[in-house]
Amino acid sequence: MPRFYPHPIIAREGWPFILAGLFFSIVFTCWLEWWSLPFWLFTLFAVQFFRDPSRPIPQDPDAVLCPADGRIVVVERTIDPYRNTEALKISVFMNVFNVHSQRSPIDGTVTRVEYNKGKFLNAALDKASTENERNAVFATTRTGRELTFVQVAGLVARRILCYVDSGQRVVRGERYGFIRFGSRVDVYLPTDAVAQVSIGDKVQASSTILARLPLKAAVQNDEPQTIRPAATTAPAAGLTEHAARANAPQNEQQIIEEAAEKVRAAAEREAPQE
């Protein structure tokens, strides 16, 4: 496979289906005439399903591009089940009328590829992310940010194709996989990513910006804070004031007693001698 898939309008995965449909359509037309119409319809369906048009590719350094055509069905904070970390999850659901080639959402390096067998539930369901057949690609951007994008098989999808492997470098818009006949793609991003799409939005592979991801993670200051001793004057003043307030009743009582003593002494002096 070329380093950067040249987008041949019709994906190479579809040529066996298209040629087979065309062959049987011609043969049955010769034998059955109008009864061959279902074969022609299948051939037309295969042509539209396996189309693989070229798309404009935004080059914003912090942009995470949409890996597939379809409709946004999930935008939420959750746990990335592959890295076991908190993440922003964005899911794209593809019906049978969408383009089904997957393209790299970032410039970076594939660190691991993990395939999991599973069921073939409706890909629009949330549980399809963890129960269906799926293929997870772990990748790291050029600035070291980690993300996971997962191909998930759907109700009629029976084949997930992935063309990248561990250690391989990818560029945004590069075609890395294909899913036949209905599916979804889940993207797990760091929690500081900001989604640029909402549930229900129709998106296109490579040309739609899925989220904005800062080039570097925010630095957390884990240094212990130094506790500085407070100035001595303020506490001293505070203590003096507090002591004064505490001793105020005692001082007033003493003044009253002294005044009373003076009054008694004066009264005794002025009293007549017997």
Amino acid in the structure at residue 39:
F
Overall size of the chain counted in residues: 274
Of residues 101, 129, 183, 206, which has the active-site annotation?
183
Cross-strand partners of 79: 86
One-character DSSP codes across 32-77: HGGGGHHHHHHHHHHHHHTEE--------TTEEE-SSSEEEEEEEE
Q: How far apart are CA 186 and CA 159, in angstroms?
A: 17
Cβ proximity of 211 and 88 under 8 Å:
yes
Name residues whose C-beta falls within 8 Å of residue 234's C-beta, 6 or more positions apart in sequence: none
- Give the burial class of 56: count Cβ atoms within 10 A of its Cβ; 0-12 exposed, 13-18 middle, 19 or more buried: exposed
d(Cα 257, Cα 167) in Å, to the nearest integer? Answer: 94
Active-site annotation holds for 183: yes
- Residue 222: helix, strand or coil by DSSP? coil
Read off the tokens for 224: 């212990």
Q: At what angle do helices 37-49 and 15-32 cross, to 10 degrees?
A: 160
Burial code (b: 16+ CB inside 10 Å, e: under 16) for 99-129 equals: bbbbbbbbbbbbeebeeeeeebbebbeeebb
Residues with catalytic roles: 183
